[in-house]
Structure 1
Amino acid sequence: MAAKGPGKDYQPVKRKYHSTVRVGDYLYMWGGTQPDLPKVHNNEKKKSMCSVMEVYHLVTGRWEQKPTTGNPPLGFKSYAAAAIGNEIFYFGGECGHDDCYHNSLYR
C-alpha cells in the first residue's frame, strides 16, 4: 500500500479522544473526534474519514496516511487500543451521537 500525505511536512488533522499505539518504529493513530466528522451513527462520510490510519515513523519524524481494510469501528472515540506483537486491537468506544457506546472488538 502506498502511503498518502501531501509532501514531507504532512500533519494529521487535529483531534481528541483518540489512541496511539506503538508497533516497532511506528506510532499508529486512529479515530478521535475530528473537525467535520458527522455526529451520526453510521454514514459514508464518517466511514471514509475513519478508514485511514495515521502513521508516525519514529526514526524519520514523518507522518503518513495508510488506508484500512474492512468496515471501521463505529466507536471512533474514547475507545481502548493495545498493540500485541504486530497487531492492533480496538475495543469499545463512543459513536459521537447521543449516548451511543459500543462493546465490539476490532483487529
Structure 2
Amino acid sequence: MAAKAPDYQPGKRYGHSTVRVGDYLYMWGGEQPNLPRVHNNEKKKSMCSVMEVCHLRTGRWEQKPTTGNPPLGVIGYAAATIGREIFYFGGWCGQPYCNHDSLYR
C-alpha cells in the first residue's frame, strides 16, 4: 500500500494578508524564505505570481497562478475585498525606504 502524500501547506511567512471571498481564504505575498531583497527581478516575480487558497469547508490549501505583473510591495500591504474582487494597496518591496502607493485588483 502506497503512503498518502501529505496535504499541501503554504510556506512560513509574515507581513502578508489573508482575505475571504465566499468559502475561500486568499493569501498572497509576505516575507518568505528565499524572497529576493531586490526591488524587482524574475525570481521575485515568479514567487509573487502565486495565490495561496484555502477552501474553508475542507481546510485544504492549494496554489493558484495569477496573471499580469504582481505588485512590487509584497510585504506589509493592505488587502480588502469588495464583492468577489480583492484589492491590494501599498506595501514594501524589501529595499530600504521602498514603500509603494499602488492599488492592484
Aligned runs of 1:1-107 on 2, under 5 Å?
9-107=7-105
Q: 1:8 to 1:84 in 2, by over 3 A?
A: farther
CA offset digits 1:1-49 (Å, max 9, x no partner): xxxxxx5610001000000000000000000000000000000000000
Within 1, Cα distance between the matches of 2:6 and 2:55? 12
Quote how far apart the aligned CAs of 1:95 are: 0.5
Identical amino acids, percent of aligned pairs: 79
Quote how far apart the aligned CAs of 1:99 are: 1.0
The ranges of structure 1 where at least 4 consecutive aligned residues each deviate by more than 6 angstroms after the TM superposition are none
Alpha-carbon contact 1:8-1:62 (below 8 Å) kept? no
Q: What is the TM-score normalised by the length of structure 1?
A: 0.92
Partner SS for 2:46: helix
Q: In structure 1, list runs of 5 or more residues that go unmatched.
A: 1-6
Higher Rg of the two aligned structures: 2
The size of the alignment, in residue pairs, is: 101
CA offset digits 1:32-91 (Å, max 9, x no partner): 000000000000000000000000000011000000000000000100000110100000
Q: In structure 2, list runs of 5 or more residues that go unmatched.
A: none
Partner SS for 1:48: helix
